[in-house]
């Protein structure tokens, strides 16, 4: 099975501190005191076309440069994409800095600001369709994607969580009537111990009780990103755009 590896890639190792570029598309990382991010521009970009935008929330222990690894497996042509950096976390060993998405009220509010800022950056650089902004993430990034999309469902055309549980606490269904119109995609690893299928099934029952529409897919892997997952993300977004999705209602 092809998997998206987490170790630093050769492109990342060669990156200058301020930015880096990859030939098969445009990747730019901008470090900043408050809002570090990575930005992806599609290959053969056409300025007259309004592109769908993917906002990616990286996995725990990773950072915004995860966007470099996922976009070639999703699509190099179909989307503009942007990834804000999460919050610095302690790995407990005194080692390298790590970033994640804790679910405290203060950090939820700050995550909203970082996502909004990332969207504005993408719109300044590229022609983005305001009605086709998709929020996605892996692990805790997927959980935060759920959280932010439920808090502001009118802003997003869909939300995708890969191996990330639905959040609990702090009223995730505060705008339930609007959230019922939001397409939801959930991918789970069959052998994951961090977000096991049994917990995903509990989330599915919660979605059904809340009246949400969802696509749930299980993959033969553990808590990991695979190329098939990311290809399916591309297919699902295209289905939302073209109106051809089959959902579990």
CATH of the domain at 73: 3.40.50.1820
**Looking at the domain assignment, is residue 163 inside a domain?**
yes
**Looking at the domain assignment, is residue 156 inside a domain?**
yes
**Looking at the domain assignment, is residue 26 inside a domain?**
yes
**Looking at the domain assignment, is residue 1 inside a domain?**
no
Residue 210 lies in domain: 20-87+122-242
**Looking at the domain assignment, is residue 27 inside a domain?**
yes
- pTM for this predicted structure: 0.84
In the chain, the number of structural domains is 1
Count the Cβ atoms, other than its own, within 10 Å of residue 16: 8
pLDDT of residue 183: 95
**Looking at the domain assignment, is residue 109 inside a domain?**
no
Indicate if the pLDDT at residue 119 is higher than 50: yes
Indicate if the pLDDT at residue 199 is higher than 90: yes
pLDDT of residue 156: 97
pLDDT of residue 25: 56
Alpha-helix runs per DSSP H in 14-83: 66-74
End-to-end CA distance of the chain: 31
Average pLDDT, the chain: 85
**Looking at the domain assignment, is residue 149 inside a domain?**
yes
Tell me whether residue 179 is exposed, middle or buried, using C-beta atoms within 10 angstroms of its C-beta: 0 to 12, 13 to 18, 19 or more: buried
**Looking at the domain assignment, is residue 206 inside a domain?**
yes
Percent of the chain exceeding pLDDT 90 equals 68
The DSSP H or E segment spanning 32 is none
């Amino acid at each position: 099975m092809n998997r998206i590896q987490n170790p630093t890639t050769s492109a990342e190792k060669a990156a200058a501190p301020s930015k880096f570029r990859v030939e098969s598309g445009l990747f730019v990382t901008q470090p900043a005191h408050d809002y570090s991010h990575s930005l992806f521009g599609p290959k053969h970009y056409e300025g007259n076309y309004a592109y769908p935008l993917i906002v990616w929330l990286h996995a725990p222990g990773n950072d915004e440069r995860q966007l470099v690894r996922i976009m070639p497996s999703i699509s190099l042509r179909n989307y503009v994409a942007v990834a804000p950096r999460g919050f610095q976390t302690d790995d407990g060993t005194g080692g390298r800095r790590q970033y994640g998405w804790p679910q405290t009220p203060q950090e939820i509010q700050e995550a909203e600001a970082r996502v909004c800022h990332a969207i504005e950056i993408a719109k300044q650089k590229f022609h983005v369709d305001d009605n086709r902004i998709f929020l996605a993430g892996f692990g805790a990034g997927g959980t935060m994607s759920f959280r932010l999309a439920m808090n502001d469902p009118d802003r997003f055309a869909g939300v995708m969580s890969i191996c990330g549980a639905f959040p609990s606490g702090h009223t995730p269904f505060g705008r339930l009537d609007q959230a019922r119109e939001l397409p939801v995609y959930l991918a789970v690893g069959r052998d994951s111990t961090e977000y096991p299928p049994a917990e995903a099934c509990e989330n599915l029952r919660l979605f059904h009780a809340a009246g949400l529409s969802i696509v749930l897919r299980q993959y033969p892997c553990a808590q990991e990103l695979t190329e098939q997952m990311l290809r399916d993300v591309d297919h699902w977004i295209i289905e939302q755009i073209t109106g051809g999705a089959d959902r579990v209602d």
